[in-house]
């Protein structure tokens, strides 16, 4: 029974992600789901590894890179708070908390 609940939970998360990609694809990518998904994966990779960036790289990224999928991060304040959140989460993870 536990496996069924876990499988349904995973399926629900996948469906929510698919719906979000579809909404953003229709809004920002002319309905091209696969392009939106590709851009999302690229930007997820950038954000997931932001803790490895030097301060110079962060400054250059803030000035020169324009997010296409996570367009809300093009606002400097929103991007800075996301970087801080991810750095804090990574430090907590490294501490085992």
What tokens does 55 get? 């301060």
Residue 45 has pLDDT above 80, yes or no: yes
Q: What is the dihedral of CA 74, 78, 84, 87, to 10 degrees?
A: -50
**Token pair 């803790």 in the structure block, residue:** 51
% of the chain residues with pLDDT over 90 = 75
> pLDDT at position 32, please?
94
The domain of 32 spans 2-95
Helix-helix angle 76-95:55-64, to 10 degrees: 150
- Count structural domains, the chain: 1
Cβ proximity of 17 and 32 under 8 Å? no
Q: Is the pTM of this model over 0.85?
A: no
What distance in Å separates the CA atoms of residue 89 and residue 97, rounded to the nearest whole number?
A: 9
Contact between 50 and 59 under an 8 Å Cβ cutoff? The reply is no
Residue 72 per-residue DSSP state: G
């Amino acid at each position: 029974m536990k496996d069924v609940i876990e499988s349904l939970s995973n399926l629900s998360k996948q469906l929510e992600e698919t719906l979000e990609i579809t909404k953003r694809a229709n809004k920002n990518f002319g309905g091209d789901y696969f392009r939106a998904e590709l851009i999302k994966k690229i930007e997820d990779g950038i954000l997931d590894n932001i803790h490895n960036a030097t301060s110079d790289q962060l400054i250059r990224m803030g000035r020169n890179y324009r997010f296409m999928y996570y367009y809300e991060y093009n606002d400097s304040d929103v991007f800075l708070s996301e970087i801080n959140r991810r750095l804090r989460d990574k430090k907590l993870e490294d501490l085992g908390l």
